[in-house]
Structure 1
Amino acid sequence: MQTIRLEDIPGLRVTVMGLGLNGGGLASARFFAERGAAVTVTDTKDESALAESVAALSEYDIRYVLGRHDEADFSGADLVIKNPAVRPDNPFLRAAKTVETDLSIFLRLCPARIAAVTGSKGKSTTSTALAWMLNAGGVKAFLGGNITVSPLGFLDVARPSDVVVLELSSWQLGDLKGKGALRPCVAAMTRIVPDHLDRYGTMEAYVADKRLIYADQGPTDWTVYDIDDPYGRSFASETRARALAYGSELPAGAYGVTVPEGGPCVARLPGTDDVELVPARLLVPGAHSRRNVAAAAVSAWACGADPRSIASAAATFPGIEHRLEPIRERRGVRWYNDSAATVPEAASAAVEAFEEPVVLITGGTDKQLDFQAARAAYRRAEAVVLLAGTGTDKIRAILDADSIAYRGPFGDIVTAVAEAARLARPGYVAVLSPGCTSFGMFKNEFDRGRSYKEAVAALPD
């Protein structure tokens, strides 16, 4: 489906594959039902697991097939909207005439400019900071995508002068391959590290989907890349767009922003003198957060924001939920929620973000990743508390080899938090930074983060 018009939707037979819990399937079902399509929602989860999402759609005439899929719902549909978590080689999809996603539909209908952000870790912070800076600078911006907000929800109010910031996962990008729907005016990429190898098998296949973010850009667009990352440098060499770097040092003649260990981030940009885009002091902790904010800042400039407003907005950016989120200070111990850290490198960055002694709550389900990337962080942590899971088995092997003491693994977050509270002393930091996925013990990383915050809040004063 190379084109779709709103007037084509009434009477269209639409099957939404994967209602899910995080917004995309729900928004797709609502979008098509509101516009007169005959909508079927199908999901392998049963009604009890999807009760909240089903309740949110109660006002619409939608047919549900839950706990299973029926081939007739795919072969008989004019259009199938798949959830990104559904593998593209799913046999039911082969029976469909046309397969799209909420993003591909949105991109074909949206009149606004698109700023797209991807990477392994840091893409949520970068995309949220970018939208924050644009809105602060008088450029109307919307935020959606992998951040759990489907952009279909704000399609009706987006205007040509606006910017839609889309956080895009590798799965979402893979679903857009060959559709010609994505040509962002700005494509920004955060650091690339191994992730989702349980799905992709190889790093090359994983990165190939990431490269799709700039595949259809042209010479008037901008590609923003991490110059300290070999993958970032390869992206810059491949793109047909103009390049903006961010990193420790800019090569002679290159445009972008430097990200020093201390001090402000100063940009070298076309047609202007060097300008401070990120101040020395930020509300978000950690060198990795500073790098992400710098990527957002140079992207905001590429979208038309004034450098002075960018620096002011960077100084007030509060961060986002589940990413080194400060949640409580108790008995001299500061508690942080970093549940979105689903790779070992992110857990390592969390420990390195603090000068104080760290009690690290970590572990969970494996994605066929190498936990050696967090080995130094495990050594640096003052104490390690483990959550049970297949990834934790790999972590334990490293801890045992290095004679690092640990507590657990614990099968529930409440017990793990209680143990971390027992180990923490005044002046310490306690942080949940799993470095693993959440499946098994939790619905997803957001459920894990909320459960952790509830457990910390329940600790007696």
Structure 2
Amino acid sequence: MAYTEMISYNKKFVKSIGDKRILILGFGREGHGTFLFLRKIFPHKTFGIADQNPKLVRLNLGRLETVRLHLGKRYLGAIKNYDVIIKSPGIAPKLIAPFVSKKQRVTSQTEIFFELCPGTIIGVTGTKGKSTTTSMIYEILRDAGFRAHLVGNIGKPALSSLASAGPNDIFVYELSSHQLYGLKKSPHVAVFLNIYPEHLDYYRNFAEYGRAKANICLWQNKDDYLIFNAKDRLVCKFAQKSKAHKISVTGKYYGLDKAAAREAGRISGVSNDSIEKTLKNFQYLPHRLELVGVFQGITFYNDSLATIPQATIAALDLLGSRVETLIAGGFDRGIDFRPLAEGIWRSRVKTVILFPESGKRIIKEVTASEKGGGIKYFAARNMREAISLAFLHTKTGKICLLSPASPSFGLFRDYRDRGNAYKRAVKSFSKKPRRM
């Protein structure tokens, strides 16, 4: 479906914003995609673009034609001059609330996509596991010959996929809580994996975060499907409120991801043989329990995306007794590390290497019981220092696991930067003679 056909397909949407003053609020990957989408529909319309980072806007925008730029620290002040604000998910609703009046419409790329999509949407959310599960479902459908699209955080910006879409297309959409916030539509097939405390700096409280996640299923009808984690109490609570056909799944870590992906494939009409063939050949995503390799007899895993204790506990449980060294810690959000300490006690971990600032509280919990008495712990100021300690204190045949249970802010740009620094340091130190 070309853009001109799409306009005809949904004249109501075009009419609703065609004569409005439109502001694209936030101009990262998603904001840029929204701009390109709207520019093709309205080639001569002047759009407003507001962002705190002037360099990011100029990098993404290219030719500065028929746009009004509102850049820098006071970028939110531009909101008052527009009728429709298309907000990027990274900007917290509480930040813009003081600037928005009741006469203005605040929307998002996700809401526009749900309004315009001519095909089927399979949405996936969860504090952890959504990227892997989304990728599994997409590959299951693609390998089975469906016209499948991977959209959202790990695929294309959603709106850019609509240009060639038709009623037989299936869009597998990774949906974060930020994208689900305020949404009043749910996908035909919803996959709801888990809810753990996360992004609490973005929301007023954990309850608001949970309600945002729940939008993936709260607006479904009796013809829709909800695949949900039967072991997550809060997910089950929200699942009860959905009108969709309900399919419960269980499993730990990648086991849950595979179980949910299997059900999504079956709902779409894929055979069991085809599903299992895809899952057997599935390549896991970087920084998600990624095998870096064996160096000087030590096996190194990169689980940098484990930004909460539950993810680190799952990694320890999955890898089992061979994990001898754990590298953890990072930005301290003040969450409870007692469950992580219990996970470390259950494991065979003998050495814990910790980054600031949360590392201080992690080791306090680990050593609060005599169960942690035999565990050695070290503070590391940077990744190279951490890896030097790992080579020194991990025996041949054992595993060193980077699974921080904390965000990366402070020492690293993001979880990717942290994971890549880990892989570089491991490969660099592996070339040096090992001391024991």
Same fold by TM-score, threshold 0.5 exceeded? yes
Query: Cα–Cα, structure 1 residues 331 and 184, in superposed 2: closer, same or farther, change >3 Å?
Result: same
Contact 1:196 1:368 in 2 (8 A): no
Q: TM-score, normalised by structure 2?
A: 0.86
CA distance in 1, matches of 2:387, 2:49: 38
User: Matched residues in 2 for 1:138 and 1:233: separation?
Assistant: 33
CA offsets per residue over residues 158-191 of structure 1, 9 Å max, x none?
Answer: 2211111111122221132xxx3x2311111112
1:382 aligns with 2:345: no
Is contact 2:296–2:430 with CA below 8 Å preserved after alignment?
A: no
- Residue 128 (1) aligns with residue 147 (2): no
1:249-260 paired onto structure 2 within 5 Å: none
Alignment check: 8 A CA contact 2:218 2:242 kept: yes
Q: Give, in angstroms, the shift of residue 109 of structure 1.
A: 1.6
Distance 1:6 1:374 in 2: 51
Q: 1:117 to 1:165 in 2, by over 3 A?
A: same
1:70-116 alpha-carbon deviations (Å, 9 max, x no partner)? 45521222322212222212246415822111111222121121111
Partner of residue 49, structure 2: 41
Aligned to 1:276: none
1:58 corresponds to which letter in structure 2? G
Query: Which amino acid in structure 2 is aligned with residue 24 of structure 1?
Result: E
Query: Residues 98-109 of structure 1: matches in 2 within 5 Å?
Result: 98-109=105-116
- Tell whether 2:241 aligns with 1:238: yes
In the alignment, is the contact (CA less than 8 A) between 2:128 and 2:194 conserved in 1? yes
Partner of 1:331: 296
**Is residue 120–residue 190 contact of structure 1 (8 Å, CA) maintained in 2?**
yes
Is residue 52 of structure 2 the alignment partner of residue 81 of structure 1?
no
Which residue of the partner structure matches residue 184 of structure 1? 187
**Distance of 1:82 and 1:231 partners within structure 2:** 28
Q: Against the structure 1 CA distance between its residues 70 and 205, is the aligned structure 2 distance closer, same or farther, given a 3 Å change threshold?
A: closer
Offset of residue 156 of structure 1: 1.1
Name the CA shift for 1:77/1:407 in 2 (closer, same or farther; >3 Å). same
Q: CA deviation at 1:211?
A: 1.6
Q: CA deviation at 1:145?
A: 1.9
Q: What residue number does 2:220 align with?
A: 217
Say if 2:337 is the partner of 1:365. Answer: no
Task: State the alpha-carbon separation in 1 of the partners of residues 35 and 423 from structure 2.
Answer: 31
Listed one character per residue, the Cα deviations across residues 11-54 of structure 1 (whole Å, up to 9, x for unaligned) are 8643222224xx2223223333444242333222352xx3xx64
**Partners in 2 of 1:3 and 1:223 — Cα distance?**
31
Residue of structure 2 in register with 1:157 after alignment: 164
| CA offset digits 1:221-251 (Å, max 9, x no partner) | 111111222223323322101011112xxxx
Cα distance in structure 2, aligned partners of 1:423 and 1:201: 42
Stretch moving more, 111-120 or 450-459: 450-459
Structure 2 unaligned segments of length 5 or more: list them: 1-9, 432-436
Structure 1 segments unaligned to the other structure (5+ residues): 248-258, 260-286
For residues 100 and 125 of structure 1, the distance between their equivalents in structure 2, rounded to whole angstroms, comes to: 27
Identity %: 30
Query: 2:350 aligned with 1:343, yes or no?
Result: no
Question: Matched residues in 2 for 1:27 and 1:457: separation?
Answer: 37
2:209 partner letter: Y
SS at match of 2:110: helix
8 Å contact kept, 2:291–2:301 = yes
**1:148: how far off?**
6.5
Within 2, Cα distance between the matches of 1:68 and 1:396? 38
Give the conservation status (yes or no) of the 8 Å contact 1:196–1:367.
no
- Residue 279 of structure 1 corresponds to none
Matched, 1:445 2:410: no
Q: Is the 8 A contact 1:139 1:305 kept in 2?
A: no
- 1:202: Cα distance to partner? 4.0
Aligned to 2:361: 394
User: For residues 303 and 362 of structure 1, do their structure 2 counterparts lie closer, same or farther at Cα, with a shift above 3 Å needed?
Assistant: same
Cα shift at 1:388: 1.5
Asked if 1:310 is matched to 2:275, the reply is: yes
Q: Residues 59 and 448 (structure 1 numbering): CA distance in 2 closer, same or farther, change over 3 Å?
A: farther
Distance 1:317 1:70, change over 3 A: closer
**The residue matched to 1:187 in structure 2 has which SS?**
strand
Q: How many residues of Structure 1 are paired with residues of Structure 2 in the alignment?
A: 410
1:41 is paired with a residue whose SS is strand
Residue in 2 aligned with 1:170?
Answer: 177
Contact 1:14 1:78 in 2 (8 A): yes
TM-score (norm 1): 0.81
Residue in 2 that maps onto 1:255: none
